[in-house]
């Protein structure tokens, strides 16, 4: 387990703020029980901030024809949709919602070549809202597998997640389970899969990135 580099600045600022608040609490608040209550709350906030940026060390469930989850979270949508940004055709959309308590690092679900990546400014609907997929701040990445099939991942910002970070670049050769980005503080990842993909998850399932199989080519 380690901390993600994108969290260093936030963790440092959080630590400074909590240190100042703790000092002010001890100096200003006259009641000991209230001091203990407030200081405990500050400590829990700092622990939560640390845990948000944790990066687990996992054994990747490598497979040529498996599509792995890119994010930890809960399956909130499985449906056939018309994908109009890249493919202009029908796709199976599988959506993973990440709560503020999930790990928010994102990993490639397959190996292949990045053929498309684009950042979109947008609104900040709740990540579980269907409109978030097309209206929210988002980043789109397409990876083409060696078998010629392509899948699209869409990183979506939520109400609190207003910073999407992606390391993907067009023509990158990527490995299954390799990190491609992070979304801060609660968000969602949509997968747009070929229409003949065999879906291996159902609504409400909890999935783990790098390990859970969401589909098979």
The SS3 assignment for 50 reads: helix
Other Cβ atoms closer than 10 A to 84? 9
**Beta strands in 40-172, from DSSP E residues, in sequence order:** 54-55, 66-68, 73-83, 89-98, 105-107, 112-120, 138-144, 150-157, 164-166
**CA angle 99-177-142, nearest 5°?**
85
- Among residues 70, 133, 187, 212, the one annotated as catalytic is 187
CA distances to 11, 14, 57, 83, 131 from 209, in Å:
24, 27, 11, 24, 24
Distance in angstroms between the alpha carbons of the first and the last residue of the chain: 31
CA distance 14 to 189: 27
The encoded tokens of residue 36 equal 């203990």
187 is catalytic: yes
CA distance 7 to 215: 31
Could you say which DSSP state residue 5 is in?
Answer: G
Residue 101: phi, psi to the nearest 5? -95, -5
Residues that are catalytic = 187
């Amino acid at each position: 387990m380690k901390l993600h580099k994108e969290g260093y600045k936030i963790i440092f600022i959080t630590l400074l703020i909590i240190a100042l608040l703790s000092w002010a609490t001890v100096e200003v608040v006259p009641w000991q029980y209230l001091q203990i209550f407030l200081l405990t709350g500050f400590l829990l906030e700092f622990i939560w901030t640390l845990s948000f940026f944790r990066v687990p060390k996992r054994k990747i469930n490598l497979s040529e024809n498996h599509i792995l989850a890119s994010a930890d979270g809960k399956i909130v949508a499985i449906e056939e949709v018309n994908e109009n940004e890249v493919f202009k055709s029908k796709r199976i959309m599988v959506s993973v919602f990440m709560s503020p308590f999930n790990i928010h690092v994102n990993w490639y679900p397959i190996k292949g070549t990045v053929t498309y990546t684009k950042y979109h400014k947008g609104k900040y609907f709740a990540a579980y809202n269907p409109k978030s997929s097309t209206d929210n701040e988002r980043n789109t990445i397409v990876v083409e597998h060696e078998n010629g099939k392509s899948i699209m991942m869409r990183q979506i910002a939520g109400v609190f997640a207003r910073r999407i970070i992606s390391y993907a670049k067009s023509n990158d050769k990527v490995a299954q389970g390799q990190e491609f980005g992070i979304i801060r503080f609660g968000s969602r990842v949509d997968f747009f899969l070929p229409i003949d993909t065999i879906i291996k998850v159902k609504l409400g399932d909890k999935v783990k990135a790098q390990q859970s199989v969401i589909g098979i080519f």
